[in-house]
Amino acid sequence: MQIITTKQELLQHVEACKQQNKTIGLVPTMGALHAGHASLVRRCVSENDVTFVSVFVNPTQFNNKEDLAKYPRNIWRDADLLSNLGAHFLFAPTPEEMYTAEEMNSTFEFGFNGLDQVMEGKMRPGHFNGVVQVVSRLFYLVRPDRAYFGEKDYQQLAIIRYMVSGSAFAGTFGDLQIVGCPIVREESGLALSSRNERLSESEKQTAVNISRILFESREWAKTQSVAEVQQRVVDAINAVEGLEVEYYEIVDQSTLLPAADFSHAIGCVTVYCGPVRLIDNIKY
C-alpha cells in the first residue's frame, strides 16, 4: 500500500488507474479506524480493482474547536490496518494541502433541500457544509466508480446521496455509486465509533444502553404511535445515569421528514455519555 500526502501525487495515481481502465473505489474516513471502517474497506476491495482510502480530520465540518482538537488520531495504526485489509492507496493530506486559507475560513455554500434542517444539521450548524465540501473535493480528485459510507451516520449518507444525484452537483461525478454499509456493533450492541476511544470502560458499559433501548423500541412500535415510541425512547435513555439525549427523531428514511408511521421509518439518536457525543440509529 502506498501512502500519498499531496493532491498532485494523488491525481497521478488516479490517472494511471483510469488509463488502465481499472475500477476505483473510495472510502473517505477521518481516521481512528475500527472494525466498522474495516467492513467498508473490505467491501470496497472486493468490488473494485483499486481501493483508495482517505484519512483526513476535516476541520471545516467541526463547529466545536475543542471537539476537533480531541478527535483521536493515529495515522500509523490506521496505515497498518489498511495495508492488512488490501487497500492500495492511503491519502492522508494536511488541511493546508486540501484547502486554501480562504476556504478554511469561509463557509462552503450548498443547497441541501432541507436535509440539513433536522437532527445533526440543526444541532451542528455548518457541519454538513464542511462534509459536502470535503467529500465533493475527494470525488473530484479520485473520480471513483463507487464510494462507501457507513449507515451509522445516516443523515450524512442521505446528504451525500442527494449531493450526487439531486443537487447542482448532479452528473458532475459521472455514474458514481454511493454504497451505504450496515452499522457494525460490538458484541454488546454498542455501535462502533472512533469516539468510543474517549470512553472509559465504565462509560462503555453505560453507553450499551443506547442500542439496547433502540432495539427494544422495535417491540414498542408494534403497539404504539410514532410520538409515543419517540418519547418512550428519550425517557428510557435519560433514565440511565450518565446518559443524556440531545435528540431522538423518527423520520422517513428517504426524506428525513418526521415519519407518520413506521412503514419506512428510521430512528436517529444522539446521546451524551459523560462528555462524549455518540450517535446511533435503528430502522423500523
Is residue 58 very low, low, confident or very high in pLDDT (cuts 50, 70, 90)?
very high
pLDDT tens digits for range 68-92: 888 889 999 999 999 999 999 999 9
| Percent above pLDDT 70 for the chain | 100
Q: Would you say 42 and 127 are in contact if contact means Cβ atoms under 8 Å apart?
A: no
pLDDT tens digits for range 177-224: 999 999 999 999 999 998 998 999 999 999 999 999 999 999 999 999
pLDDT value at residue 166: 87
- Active-site positions read 37
pLDDT value at residue 63: 79
pLDDT tens digits for range 92-133: 999 999 999 999 888 899 999 999 999 999 999 999 999 999
pLDDT tens digits for range 11-56: 999 999 999 999 999 999 999 999 999 999 999 999 999 999 999 9
Q: Would you say 200 and 270 are in contact if contact means Cβ atoms under 8 Å apart?
A: no
pLDDT reading at 164 higher than 90: yes
Backbone angles phi, psi at 30, to 5 degrees: -110, 20
pLDDT value at residue 68: 84
From its phi and psi, is residue 186 left (phi > 0), alpha (psi between -120 and 50) or beta? beta
Q: Is 181 helix (H, G, I), strand (E, B) or coil?
A: strand
Sign of the dihedral defined by the CA atoms of residues 57, 59, 62, 65, in that order: positive
pLDDT value at residue 66: 82
Task: Give, for 243, the enclosing helix (H) or strand (E).
Answer: strand 243-252
The strand pairing partners of 107, in sequence order, are none
CA-CA distance, 105 to 240, in Å (whole number)? 40
Q: Which residues touch 204 (CB under 8 Å, ≥6 apart)?
A: 188, 190, 196
pLDDT reading at 65 higher than 90: no
pLDDT reading at 4 higher than 90: yes
Q: Would you say 190 and 204 are in contact if contact means Cβ atoms under 8 Å apart?
A: yes
The cell numbers describing 276, all together, are: 462524549
Instruction: Measure CA 133 to chain center.
Output: 14
Task: List Cα–Cα distances, 264 to 128, 252, 253, 256, 258, in angstroms.
Answer: 24, 6, 6, 10, 11
